Structure 1
């Protein structure tokens, strides 16, 4: 089944972007190899899904390719219009998940307002 590297939920009431910096103490590659990604696997994306009915945990999917590292996997990806990957699903606590990153930023503009990617000014509150 074809997947897309775009986040989405049932209603997409709030949809935006995310950015993160790797943590200094453990790399994403090392962490997920310890959780079951093979030694010759290279994580190309992380999908995370939180359900309010399971507070304190987050479902995480490591999307990975067989390869020798960034350059090898990048060559594979660039050589096809429809790359094929493998996946590993695990549950993490919120602390474990956010501990994978030094900084984590999510921006979720409300649907229908056309704010995604727009500049805006801050007005001081009174």
Structure 2
């Protein structure tokens, strides 16, 4: 069993930031995994990691390496209570490859903000239009 901190990381960390997404109304990530038969009874999707390796061709035809993190019991309140204990949350990792357009198509909106070494992450900025 391996224990780790859930966060994004790359080799050098030249850019750091945050991401947020809205689930799609029709086929979101959870529904997609269910359609593929990858979510077991009683599991809830608690995390998604997406990784893209070195791109050598523009536009990239390289698939994202995606990991879905699934926990039991399969409801938000039970998982939140388990997280709030401060103990590591046991999850099942499901790995799959996904083209970027399929990955982003499973979300209604997706926002990524990166700054050089994270220097302005969460900080106020001012700019002229």
Q: TM (normalized to structure 1)?
A: 0.87
1:80 positional shift: 4.3
Task: Tell me, yes or no, if the aligned pair for 2:61 and 2:99 is still in contact at 8 Å.
Answer: no
Aligned-partner SS, 2:16:
coil
Is 1:96 the counterpart of 2:102 in the alignment? yes
Partner of 1:116: 121
> Runs (4+) of structure 1 moved beyond 6 Å?
none
Quick one: structure 1 residues 31 and 39, their matched pair in 2 at CA, closer, same or farther if it must change by over 3 Å? farther
For 1:68 and 1:37, the matched residues in 2 are separated by 10
Query: Partner of 2:108: helix, strand, or coil?
Result: strand
Give the superposition deviation at 1:77.
Answer: 2.4
Aligned length: 123
Structure 1 unaligned spans of 5+: none
Q: Indicate yes or no: 2:70 matched with 1:64.
A: yes
Q: Which moved more, 1:11-20 or 1:34-43?
A: 34-43
Asked if the contact 1:60–1:89 (Cα under 8 Å) also holds between the matched residues in 2, the reply is yes
Match of 2:26 in 1: 25
Alignment pair present for 1:107 and 2:108: no
3-state DSSP class of the match of 2:6?
A: coil
Deviations 1:69-116 (A, max 9, x none): 21222223223422211100000111110011111010110127x211
Describe the SS at the equivalent of 1:97.
helix
Q: Deviations over 1:23-48 (max 9, x none)?
A: 11123322222231213211100000
CA distance in 2 between counterparts of 1:59 and 1:10 reads 16
- Rounded to whole Å, the distance in 1 between the matches of 2:100 and 2:94 is 18
SS of residue matched to 1:84: coil
The secondary structure found in structure 2 opposite 1:108 is: strand
